[in-house]
Amino acid sequence: MKSLSRGLLALIIVSAILLFSDLSNWKISKDKLHQKLTSGAMFKLAMVHYVDSPNSEDCESGIRQALEEKKLREGIDFTLKVYNAQGDIATLNSIAESVNNETWNLVFALSTPTAQLLAKKLPKAKIVFTNVGDPLAAGLGKSFEDHLPNICGVSTMSDFDGLIKLVQTLHPGIKRVGTVFTPVEVNSVSFKSNLEIAAKKHGIKLVAVPANSATEVLDAANSLVAQRIEVFCQISDNLTGSSSAAILKVAHDSKIPYYSFVTPQMKQGAVAVCGRDYFQAGFEAGLIGVDVLSGKNPAEIPYRTVEKTNYIISLEAAQYYKILVPDQIFKTFPTLKIMKPASRK
């Protein structure tokens, strides 16, 4: 009996030691988030934008919010250096070289061109992307699970079928829609192709005109009007996002309704959007970043698509373009939100 008791006691002691060891390892991993408490060191983070755009700005805000919610304070727990290439590839190359010359705990890439270039220039750095429409077309992996080992992130692939359905509901019998796309942006070409597939499925022809500069965006928009499109269904990319005001003005002046995949364009005059929530995309990327800082291997984190999509329609814009909004639209789009005209005093 004594021998049995001693064996049981030994088993309990060994189990306790193993449990304590596991808890210690877990604690060490979590404590990495607050290594400053013992070493005085701060996490060194970088963030690289390709161009100023509402999408990119919302993603940055989302990332910052995620870090704040996880109790990481800038200047105390981490430093964050923000780069912006202002839409210039040569500048983006220079930024990539500068980033490569330093050591970072984590680098955030906030566009497809940025993620592509950093993946090439920083093969050993830990990178989290967002504001990337099609990471597979961008060469960042074979699938969402089988991807480059040092990179993880959030795809903002648009809901093309959703927008086409919305347009068709508001414009019964529509046959021709138009978009401006940017041939040098992989995500733009991918988005254009996906929109064309969605439109064709619903018996609609997509007219797509290329543009490679802000000046060409305006010319492309006018070309779409000349080709007698019935509405603009403007895809989201870096160039057209930063030049959206030009397309919206052409739409407004020609009285051709403008539909978008970018929520902030509602305030610029879009009739409706079926837009991924870019703040949410940044927030989710920020949470992934915290996981990486905690010690999780990026190779073990599958790519994901942003969870939240916004359906919004502007009654003021609909009235301007003489569009009737049927009551049954809410049956097809139960989460659709109405943006009412601003009150005038």
> pTM for the complete prediction?
0.75
Burial of 91 (0-12, 13-18, 19+ CB in 10 A): middle
Per-residue pLDDT, 11: 54
Domain ranges of the chain: 34-157+278-305, 160-276+309-339
142: enclosing H helix or E strand = none
CATH 3.40.50.2300 given to domain 160-276+309-339: yes
Q: Are strands 205-210 and 258-260 parallel, antiparallel or unpaired?
A: unpaired
CA-wise closest residue to 155 among 128, 189, 194, 179: 128
CATH of 34-157+278-305, one of 3.40.50.2300, 3.40.1190.20, 3.30.565.10, 3.40.190.10: 3.40.50.2300
Per-residue pLDDT, 41: 75
CB 137 within 8 A of CB 186: yes
Task: Kindly state the tokens that stand for 242.
Answer: 């930063």
**Three-state DSSP class for 107?**
strand
What are the strands, taking DSSP E only, across 118-225? 127-132, 151-155, 176-181, 205-210
Domains 34-157+278-305 and 160-276+309-339 alike in fold: yes
Between CA 334 and CA 345 the distance in angstroms is 32
CA-wise closest residue to 271 among 230, 345, 323: 323
Per-residue pLDDT, 6: 59
* Successive 10-residue mean pLDDT values, the chain, 345 residues: 54 53 47 52 94 90 97 94 94 96 96 95 96 93 96 94 96 97 93 97 98 95 98 94 94 98 91 92 97 96 90 95 92 89 56
Between CA 136 and CA 145 the distance in angstroms is 11
283: enclosing H helix or E strand = helix 278-293
